[in-house]
Structure 1
Amino acid sequence: MTDPRKEHDAEPITHFGYKNVAESEKAHKVAEVFHSVAAKYDLMNDLMSGGIHRLWKRFTIELSGVRHGNRVLDIAGGTGDLARQFSRIAGPTGEVVLADINASMLKVGRDKLLDKGVAGNISFVQADAEKLPFPDNHFDVVTIAFGLRNVTHKEDAIASMLRVLKPGGRLLVLEFSKPTNQLFSKAYDAYSFSLLPMMGKLITNDADSYRYLAESIRMHPDQETLKGMMADAGFERVTYHNMTGGIVALHRGIKP
């Protein structure tokens, strides 16, 4: 009789926050987190960041260089903050795809944009960042904001993004990162592991999901590591910009 522990041990292990889980379990666990928080996602973003997330996203849009007529893919697009602005800039001859692996987040984003009358050049696709269902050399710009840290195989996702970009196309990764000041880092840890779950409990009745979000941020590669991952995948002229003391970093790379 086969020992079930040996079968489990044979399966690759990855992290879900600070916990180790089988790779096959991670996507389901991440999905549960975002199913839980989807309805209050925008409200919690404003509360958690004091509204500063809007400035981070505005800088991402400015650095993207999106122009009239461009094709843009916004991965992990969630409630559509970036897609809405890209839709306006790309115009009626452009194309914006809001993609998210999570059906609940995709529905919230679609409903929000439709309610605001933004839909003419936007399509909504449920998609896995590691296996993007789009043609090679298709998009002028690809963005992923606060989504890469939840991906199991980040290298595969970055390679997939490179594949769907046109030569000369740009990838922008907006993600939580490592604070550059030690004292600031300690204060940020206290906020993340004490106040953040408390806010999650009060607003969404779900402290565990926000505890996971804090842990997932700490497990995400730091600025230089992510820069190296993008370069290893084949991106050129990879740079990053720290914002709010390194709490967030915006990485940018060009497809040769």
Structure 2
Amino acid sequence: MTETVSFGYADVAPEEKTARVGGVFTSVARSYDLMNDAMSGGMHRLWKDRFVRRVKPRAGEQILDMAGGTGDIAFRLAKSGAAVTVADINPAMLEVGVDRAQQRGIDGLVWTEANAETLLFPNRFFDAYTIAFGIRNVTDIPAALREAHRVLKRGGRFFCLEFSTTLWPGFAQVYDAYSHRIVPKVGKLLAHDEDSYRYLIESIRRFPDMPTFERMIADAGFVNTHVEPMLGGLVAIHSGWKI
């Protein structure tokens, strides 16, 4: 890793980013759905549906949903009959997910506190690895990608849903103004937390562009990498396979 990493627009020591990101998600855990609605205009629900369709979960498969604490992706995956393990570094996010699962009567999910960079799962254990809107908050992204590759079986598949930078002329400027000026104010109004929402928007701007992140996935050992942009790349589905 480099000596510093990005925390929004700031450059900080790696251990400081880990701690500060933890603070952000502890703060926003109970308003996470509101956060995603604010940043995407509610479209994150459609993007997640599309993401899970691309994963194509099947009954009996072992799937790891990383950074999936609140259960949004896991609940969708579990409908297939797959055995889903939900892992998140933040216990507050996991607590929200467990509560939501109980309210919905969803049983059978495994919930575990885990760091994406240093997973404790054995080699070649999972059929699929998913991570949605979580990879940009990881301190050492290459390490997390290598761990994803390690825990997947041969023939296993990696899928990542993440914000990126839209390439549509005009729309990019509109969304940039909306996200920087409006979203933090919405965060202050709905969640009483303007700073955390500001970080989340800034973290999108500092995340690698689509071609760069695709190369990072390949560098971790994945093949047949693919990027599926939506809204011109405002958000993208990245995928790769382990052989």
TM-score tier by shorter-chain length is over 0.9
Tell me how large the CA RMSD over aligned residues is: 1.1
The match for 1:227 is 214
User: What is the letter of the counterpart of residue 115 of structure 1?
Assistant: Q
Whether contact under 8 Å (2:35, 2:197) holds in the other structure is no
- Is it true that 1:99 corresponds to 2:87 in the alignment? yes
Percent identical among aligned pairs is: 49
The match for 2:53 is 62
User: How far off its partner does 1:129 sit?
Assistant: 0.5
User: What is the letter of the counterpart of residue 132 of structure 2?
Assistant: A
User: How far off its partner does 1:233 sit?
Assistant: 1.0
Q: Secondary structure at the match of 1:238?
A: strand
The match for 1:79 is 70
1:128 corresponds, among 88, 91, 115, to 115
1:16 corresponds, among 2, 7, 12, to 7
The match for 1:143 is 130
User: What is the letter of the counterpart of residue 28 of structure 2?
Assistant: V
TM-score by length of 2: 0.97
* Aligned equivalents of 1:38, 1:126: Cα separation in 2: 15
The match for 1:169 is 156
The match for 1:117 is 105
User: How far off its partner does 1:21 sit?
Assistant: 1.1
* Aligned equivalents of 1:47, 1:19: Cα separation in 2: 23
Whether contact under 8 Å (2:38, 2:183) holds in the other structure is no
1:247 corresponds, among 234, 237, 242, to 234
User: What is the letter of the counterpart of residue 217 of structure 1?
Assistant: I
Segments ≥4 residues shifted beyond 6 Å: none
User: How far off its partner does 1:184 sit?
Assistant: 1.4
Which runs of 5 or more residues in structure 1 are unaligned?
1-10
Larger radius of gyration: 1
